[in-house]
Structure 1
């Protein structure tokens, strides 16, 4: 546990009053969060898709009492001044509450500027202990002070069973000093709003997280983490990064205007050498994200369901709305994707990148019942896809060097501005095997001569179109 200059004195002075102040502290007869079943999946419409065989467990905090931090007694500035004093005394109050058995700790209204110099690379913020619900009162803001560090956590979670809710976390991207460091150059892309590092059973709910130099939240080697009802925006690297995460739920959030330093996605699943699996991304609203909205580089059993993704009129994507890499496993269904212009890949609402060679597993990529407005999809140098009942409005669908694609009951339209491209840039195949039935271009049923045994390449592709 950390030690602080004022800690012992404050503990002696305030233990009695804090324990007996009925206005600030209350007994809790019912658990804060207590669930045996975890995230409910029975409300998800998964007809025709793989059964979801995981539940994301919510935190379970034992019955106990609550404490509202008294900023006067702890001498905590709450007017966006004196970051060192604020950090020291606020942390002392949180540590004291934890040592006294309080499991609901409330931060009163105010603007709290925090940050302490830990080492050349890391700027420390505030740490929240396990078995704690940390609640921001209306009007409470936690902001990292201007610094020159490559890495920081405005709020760092320590332990398991933690809830953070109802507040505002602000970074320092506009005032940050991007001073070169010998080990990291000037990237400074690891400044995070909330650090979920080696934690189990975490809920982040109804938070605003913005203006950090890296990610709104970084999930690192953690299990059972839930993000709900948050607004995450204007961060330089990502909205949420999953770098080693098992049983993660991201639902009903708005993630937008991620921009500044690569990859610049709303959600990035990318933990090489780590385990990323059993991830649900559901009913989120993504827009104006520079790199794209969702990229899965390493995740298995990733459900991307019922999300809305909009490029935004003034935004130019780098990669595109949905991107997956070779050897990942994705279920992409019932999303609405809208592009206004395009990316380096053209107007592809979904693209599967590939490093070539065998896929590495026999799991099928499902793409069902999505609406792609002004965009299409492309998969190459891989295998096993089930693509059904999608609407590709205004762009093509393509499979290249691809084994075993099932293409059923899809609708594709093409741009009236380029009718000459219809015959080759609609359903497009190069060295592809599989099965096709019931696919339309506009009102016309198209017979697509895919074979499950003989690779098919369109003549126009051979002719160089």
Structure 2
């Protein structure tokens, strides 16, 4: 039945198809024959009569190029089976411009026979590309669009995008041994003597079958995406030669896992790596491949649920767009993720995951094991089941952009190179585990509401937390006490800047493990409470009702407070008790306290510097020294100069030096109002002004 010149309404009797939910061994063949006939006769849209079509488990539906399949609300249901692998719909013939919409794709998860053993994780609703494409097919699909589909109950994934690496000659073992010092001119193909690059002595035959078929090749890693420990560069050059061995052309600064298009007339090629060192043959895993993979895939407004392994698996794809989908209740066999970007490694590029809803997935909502240039934007990720992780960016991932998402009762781990920006987190734990020194992580402009940030990274200064707001209210204490403190610092020092910590919470304190190293950098940050960790604080503000600022460090660490403001309403406790660190610096700071000791200096091993500070005691009723230098001080020097100390009521001891006479102490050019200086007699002192008069003691 033809409804227009471009639309074909499938004639069930003509093709021997049943749509009443009963199994017919002819269903799959009949549907495929109808699609092929429609394509050959110029139809660009095929409409299924409404019903339930049971699909043969060994014969998937194969869409044609340049065609829209409108399921018209129908269900394609796999026949109940015991196979470890199946697909209901499969793209395996390099299809282009193909759309499937408006229907239900149903697996047999609950009726499946698992008795043969194994995970049976290979049962897919829609398979785009296949790990074993037929000789007349391939995985280079383009512009496949899946919209308004419900896909459920598959023993594996609702949707999977597959790739093949297509290894060609020369083999990896020969490539690993072929490197020599030197380069090749990109302008004339001649060899160049240099220590800046290395070149392979092998040539790549461009007449190999796969290169001729697809017109490209590239340098890739091994089966696990690994280039080898001694491959330390990001780029290589390709020099093309004609059949008569004359220079043809070149391509410069090609990235691994990218495709090199072969120019017309080129017969063979040589490659040059942008690194100075020749790799150990055992630490070079470069493969020359003709990779095949889906491109320009669109998955939009689909409901993917109750599949055992994944909602969507991306196993080597470029330019994929996953938008406005609902992905939930995934679980049964690992990894159990809403979306998993894994196999194919850096073949996974330019992937856009936008405006999707995730919830009730067993292990992950989004898992990025490998890949680069992946954008995760405007999604809603709600608590996974039990100990699951809503978002995991693993160490092998590079250039991952996580922006404008909402995380609710979630867990996040960041190990790979990523930008985590403008997200809203509620009752969520973000764990930063940077795995590579060369791959930074930036966490910027996020709102952490009753949430927690943990920094536990092996390399210093690869993590920057900038412009974030950490806000807590009573719900955190009442309902989310497992999150406890807001900031947990471990391992190597990182950078925290332009942040604000606010809201009432008795569990607000920063928690520092003994494993935390010194050197943390804090700038332009407002703290309502907390612990001062060994490191440098610049232009920071400490405020609200806290009793003391707890100092954490070791004898090898230092603390610097520069141009900071500290205000507390505590009347009884010493504000800063400094012990068991290497050095302490307080410079150009403003400190306000109603009563009591501001700084109590104990066993510091090297030096104390107090310069240019303003200290105000606003409502004192007890006699306490403002700055006390204890006899336990064991450092080399103490410098106290150009400070101002103001006391409101009772005249206090502003500075008391109880250190050993052998300690080098300088007290000069300080101004004390309603306060005095108690010397031990060995100080270098001059021009200190006490109540408007130069101190002559």
Unaligned runs of 5+ in 2: 130-138, 163-292, 513-518, 523-532, 537-549, 555-697
Q: Deviation of residue 307 (structure 1)?
A: 0.5
Counterpart position of 2:70: 135
Normalising by structure 1, we get a TM-score of 0.73
CA distance in 2, matches of 1:434, 1:128: 52
Q: Deviation of residue 271 (structure 1)?
A: 1.8
Counterpart position of 2:14: 73
Q: Deviation of residue 292 (structure 1)?
A: 1.5
State whether residues 409 and 440 of structure 1, in contact with CA within 8 Å, keep that contact through their aligned partners in structure 2: no
Counterpart position of 2:156: 214
* Aligned partner of 2:105 among 148, 153, 169: 169
1:370 to 2:423 alignment: yes
Counterpart position of 2:640: none
1:395 to 2:468 alignment: no
CA distance in 1, matches of 2:36, 2:99: 16
1:245-280: per-residue Cα shift (whole Å, max 9, x none)? 101110011011111111111100012455001011
Q: Deviation of residue 308 (structure 1)?
A: 0.6
State whether residues 349 and 372 of structure 1, in contact with CA within 8 Å, keep that contact through their aligned partners in structure 2: no
Q: Deviation of residue 189 (structure 1)?
A: 0.3
CA distance in 2, matches of 1:422, 1:291: 19
Q: Deviation of residue 213 (structure 1)?
A: 0.5
1:263-320: per-residue Cα shift (whole Å, max 9, x none)? 11110001245500101111001111111210101121111111011126xx3243x1
Q: Deviation of residue 418 (structure 1)?
A: 10
* Aligned partner of 1:203 among 113, 126, 145: 145
Counterpart position of 2:375: 303
Normalising by structure 2, we get a TM-score of 0.50
Unaligned runs of 5+ in 1: 1-20, 28-64, 117-122, 340-347, 354-358
Q: Deviation of residue 69 (structure 1)?
A: 0.3
Counterpart position of 1:439: 500
1:179 to 2:115 alignment: yes
1:151 to 1:455, Cα distance in 2 relative to 1, 3 A = farther
State whether residues 289 and 317 of structure 1, in contact with CA within 8 Å, keep that contact through their aligned partners in structure 2: no
1:316 to 2:386 alignment: yes
* Aligned partner of 2:90 among 137, 156, 166: 156
CA distance in 2, matches of 1:428, 1:265: 29
Counterpart position of 2:122: 190
1:256 to 2:328 alignment: yes
1:410 to 2:468 alignment: yes
State whether residues 9 and 46 of structure 2, in contact with CA within 8 Å, keep that contact through their aligned partners in structure 1: yes
1:85-141: per-residue Cα shift (whole Å, max 9, x none)? 21222222222212222221111101100114xxxxxx3321111221111113x11
Counterpart position of 2:341: 269
SS of equivalent residue, structure 2 residue 395:
coil
Say what the alpha-carbon RMSD is for the aligned residues: 3.0
Counterpart position of 2:598: none
Counterpart position of 2:646: none
1:125 to 2:197 alignment: no
Q: Deviation of residue 411 (structure 1)?
A: 2.2
- Of 187-196 and 125-134, the range deviating more from structure 2: 125-134
State whether residues 470 and 486 of structure 2, in contact with CA within 8 Å, keep that contact through their aligned partners in structure 1: no
CA distance in 2, matches of 1:296, 1:349: 14
* Aligned partner of 1:325 among 390, 394, 411: 394
CA distance in 1, matches of 2:98, 2:47: 13
SS of equivalent residue, structure 1 residue 92:
helix
SS of equivalent residue, structure 1 residue 186:
coil
1:88 to 1:387, Cα distance in 2 relative to 1, 3 A = same
CA distance in 2, matches of 1:281, 1:419: 29
Counterpart position of 1:61: none
1:335 to 2:405 alignment: yes
Counterpart position of 1:46: none
Q: Deviation of residue 456 (structure 1)?
A: 5.5
Larger RCO (CA under 8 A, 6+ residues apart): 1
1:88 to 2:29 alignment: yes
SS of equivalent residue, structure 1 residue 154:
strand
1:75 to 1:291, Cα distance in 2 relative to 1, 3 A = same
1:317 to 1:239, Cα distance in 2 relative to 1, 3 A = farther
Counterpart position of 2:605: none
State whether residues 404 and 435 of structure 1, in contact with CA within 8 Å, keep that contact through their aligned partners in structure 2: no
Q: Deviation of residue 375 (structure 1)?
A: 1.1
* Aligned partner of 2:413 among 351, 366, 377: 351
Aligned residues: 372
1:204-231: per-residue Cα shift (whole Å, max 9, x none)? 0100100111001001121110111111
State whether residues 206 and 230 of structure 1, in contact with CA within 8 Å, keep that contact through their aligned partners in structure 2: yes
Q: Deviation of residue 153 (structure 1)?
A: 0.9
1:364-399: per-residue Cα shift (whole Å, max 9, x none)? 521112111111211124351221221222332121
CA distance in 2, matches of 1:285, 1:368: 19
1:316 to 1:238, Cα distance in 2 relative to 1, 3 A = same
